[in-house]
Chains A and B, each alone.
Chain A
Amino acid sequence: ETGVTQTPRHLVMGMTNKKSLKCEQHLGHNAMYWYKQSAKKPLELMFVYSLEERVENNSVPSRFSPECPNSSHLFLHLHTLQPEDSALYLCASSQEDTGSETQYFGPGTRLLVL
């Protein structure tokens, strides 16, 4: 499946590092999402972008900063993360305005914060 791609697939970073996660969707969708998946809280919705505007931010700490330059690309900028931020970060996309849209997930970036 190559509809939604994510890079890198694995990332190890120190607490003082700055890194970015990239997501690209090739499905022509108009909405994109960032999820965090960890053992303690599976599939936490972090951010939602609809038509390139952020429409939802679920109380995510400011050390996570999303960016959606166009409808096909979504970034998650990371800085001064904590060890508890280690998780699988999943990007998804969907076509809104149908009321029954399916979410297509990317393979995820597995992040380890040391």
Chain B
Amino acid sequence: GQQVMQIPQYQHVQEGEDFTTYCNSSTTLSNIQWYKQRPGGHPVFLIQLVKSGEVKKQKRLTFQFGEAKKNSSLHITATQTTDVGTYFCAGRGSTLGRLYFGRGTQLTVWP
């Protein structure tokens, strides 16, 4: 069945360092979404990628969708304490298929 694997599970960085989380699927995805959950909060949608090789940026966040549409990454440049939280990827196997969430990467940023 559809599986979305996400690594690492935890990441601790010093403020100002970069951070990357990776998402891999066993099958080709029609699209992939990224969510952020702050401590004590709920997942909030960040972005969606649809096209092969697509790259999108939101300020210090860069999202990539692999050429084969089986993997994706989220890169944060120069982390800040406000970036703390858990980042989830969520992939869809087909256009009208169910969304499958990865386990998430919990980011801690030390000031």
Contacts and interface: CB of A to CB of B under 8 A. Distances in A.
Nearest to B44: A105
Given A42-B103, A43-B88, A43-B101, A99 B41 contact: no
Interface string B1-28: 0000000000000000000000000000
Interface in A3-47: 42-43, 45
Interface in B76-92: 86, 88, 90, 92
Interface residues of B, number: 22
A105 B42 contact: yes
Contacts of B90: 103
Interface of B: prevailing SS:
strand
A48 interface: yes
B55 interface: no
7 contacts: A45-B101, A90-B43, A97-B96, A99-B31, A99-B96, A103-B33, A103-B90
A97 B99 CA distance: 13
B41 A103 contact: no
A107 interface: yes
Interface of B: 30-31, 33, 35, 41-45, 48, 50, 86, 88, 90, 92, 95-96, 98-99, 101, 103-104
Given A1-B44, A99-B30, A99-B31, 10 more contacts: A42-B104, A43-B43, A43-B104, A48-B98, A96-B96, A97-B96, A100-B92, A103-B33, A103-B90, A105-B44
Contacts of B92: 99-100
A2 B16 CA distance: 33
Interface residues of A, number: 18
Contacts of A106: 42
A100 B45 CA distance: 12
Interface string A76-114: 000000000000001000001101101111111000000
